[in-house]
Amino acid sequence: MANLFIKQAKQYLGSRPNYPEELLQFIASKTPCHDLVWDVGTGSGQATVSLARIYKNVIATDTSAKQLELAPKLSNVQYKCTTPNMSMSELQQNVVAAESTVDLVTIAQAMHWFDLPSFYQQVKFVLKKPNGVIAAWCYKSPYVTKSVDSVFQRFYTVDSDPYWAPERKIVDDMYRTIEFPFEAVDGCDHNGPFEFKSERLIDLEGFFLYIKSWSAYQTAKENGVELLKDDVVEDFTNAWNEDGKYEKIITFPIYLRIGKVGNVN
Ligand SMILES: C[S@@+](CC[C@H](N)C(=O)[O-])C[C@H]1O[C@@H](n2cnc3c(N)ncnc32)[C@H](O)[C@@H]1O
């Protein structure tokens, strides 16, 4: 699985959403200090760039060296390539050496790929007690226009469906059912999902690039299946051109689970 994001790293960088300021500010308002973040499954730094503006230092890790190569280089960000099932000793050697030193752990559109029991053990180790925060979010299928969405819906639920890994289904459920053993942060009476949205202007080529960045697109290709067949491309093109607008706003609904570590023995 950790390999699913290697081959299409360029498509990924060119088409995936960045995250809105409201999301990052909401998260930052829940950590008392702004010293150190561990951004896990950083990809090509989609969340890291904004985090680096708010926190003094960011350690951004991913299992894909190819994704990390494309991430923006910033003076307060250290990118590190890790193994998919990193042990506690690898964590301490390669990522964060000392217990209770991290203010925030972020996981953007990636936590559904992790082995949660061992990952949560690491999160509980690194976070400052009791107010260190974990923030994990995912985004679902985007909205464009009624006509594009209707072609997309069929494409997503029928054509691409067999090629999504089972783990990815938790995203369709907006992370509601993902195990999340953390306390509500101050000012909240539950740990989510809280809803945000990311919007950007996109043309049809960019929209196809987004589809090509999917793990399911990659898996289908490896099985000899081109998901963007001529008739599918034609359906999308007709729907896209209906309103005569070359570029359109694409909206990704984002779902955030957020919690604090509390006092862990
Ligand atoms: C869908 S991408 C998300 C990238 C980026 N955070 C974003 O918001 O677009 C998922 C990322 O998680 C990485 N990944 C998958 N399993 C991982 C693991 N066990 N540890 C760290 N990263 C992992 C993949 O290589 C990929 O870059």
Tell me the sheet residues that pair with 258: 135
| Residue whose CA lies nearest to ligand 1 atom number 14 | 41
pLDDT of 13 reads 75
Give the mutation target among 113, 116, 137 for probing the ligand 1 site: most ligand atoms within 8 A of CB: 113
- Residue 63 · residue 2 · CB < 8 Å: yes
Rounded CA-CA distance 238/254 in Å is 28
Within a domain: residue 117? yes
* pLDDT for res 84: 92
CB 181 within 8 A of CB 125: no
Q: Is the pTM of this model over 0.85?
A: yes
Within a domain: residue 7? Answer: yes
- For residue 148, how far is its CA from the centre of ligand 1 (angstroms)? 28
Residue 16 CA, closest ligand 1 atom number = 9
User: Does the residue 214 lie in any domain?
Assistant: no
245 assigned to some structural domain? no
Q: E-assigned strands of 119-246?
A: 133-139, 194-203
Distance 213 CA to ligand 1 centre (A): 13
| Structural domain count of the chain | 1
User: Distance, CA 233 to ligand 1 centroid (Å)?
Assistant: 28
Range of the domain at 102: 2-142+167-200+251-260
**247-260, strands of its sheet edge to edge:** 77-81, 57-62, 36-40, 104-108, 133-139, 247-260, 194-203
Cβ–Cβ < 8 Å for 8, 218: yes
Residue 63 is assigned to a structural domain of this protein: yes
Residue bearing the CA closest to ligand 1, atom 22: 41
Tens digit of pLDDT at every position of the chain (265 positions): 556 565 667 777 777 888 999 999 999 999 999 999 999 999 999 999 999 999 999 999 999 999 999 999 999 999 999 999 999 999 999 999 999 999 999 999 999 999 999 999 999 999 999 999 999 999 999 999 999 999 999 999 999 999 999 988 899 999 999 999 999 999 999 999 999 999 999 999 999 999 999 999 999 999 999 999 999 999 999 999 999 999 999 999 999 999 999 997 6
CATH number for the domain including 103? 3.40.50.150
Long-range contacts of 80-89 (CB under 8 A, 24+ apart): 84/1, 84/2, 85/115, 85/118, 86/122, 88/121, 88/122, 88/125
Residue 4 has a pLDDT of 59
Ligand 1, atom 9: closest residue by C-alpha: 46
Phi, psi of 62 (to 5 degrees): -160, 155
Given the CA of residue 17, which atom of ligand 1 is nearest to it? 9
Residue 157 lies in a domain: no
Asked, for residue 130, whether it belongs to a domain, the answer is: yes
Q: Residues enclosing ligand 1, CB less than 6 A? A: 2, 5, 16, 40-43, 46-47, 61-64, 67, 82, 84, 108-110, 113-114
Does residue 128 form part of some domain? yes
Q: What is the pLDDT of residue 229?
A: 97
Check if the beta carbon of residue 31 is closer than 8 Å to that of residue 133. yes
Q: Ligand 1 pocket: which of 62, 77, 85, 96 to mutate (most atoms <8 Å of CB)? A: 62
Centre a 10 Å sphere on the Cβ of residue 113 and count the other Cβ atoms it contains.
20
Cis peptide upstream of residue 193 (ω within 30 degrees of 0): yes
Q: Which atom of ligand 1 is nearest to the CA of 47?
A: 8
Provide the 3-class DSSP secondary structure of residue 2: helix
In whole angstroms, give the CA distance from residue 84 to residue 113: 9
Encoded tokens for 88: 């506690």
Cα dihedral 29, 31, 35, 36 in deg (nearest 10): -110
H or E element that contains 108: strand 104-108
Q: What is the rounded radius of gyration, in angstroms, for the C-alpha atoms of the chain?
A: 19
d(CA 35, CA 177): 31
What pLDDT does residue 7 have?
62
Question: For ligand 1, what atom is nearest to the CA of residue 113?
Answer: 16
pLDDT score recorded for residue 15 = 78
Spatial distance between the Cα atoms of 240 and 145, rounded to a whole number of angstroms = 8
Q: Could you give the angle at the alpha carbon of 123 between the alpha carbons of 172 and 90, nearest 5°?
A: 110
Left if phi > 0, otherwise alpha if psi is -120 to 50, otherwise beta: which for 13?
alpha
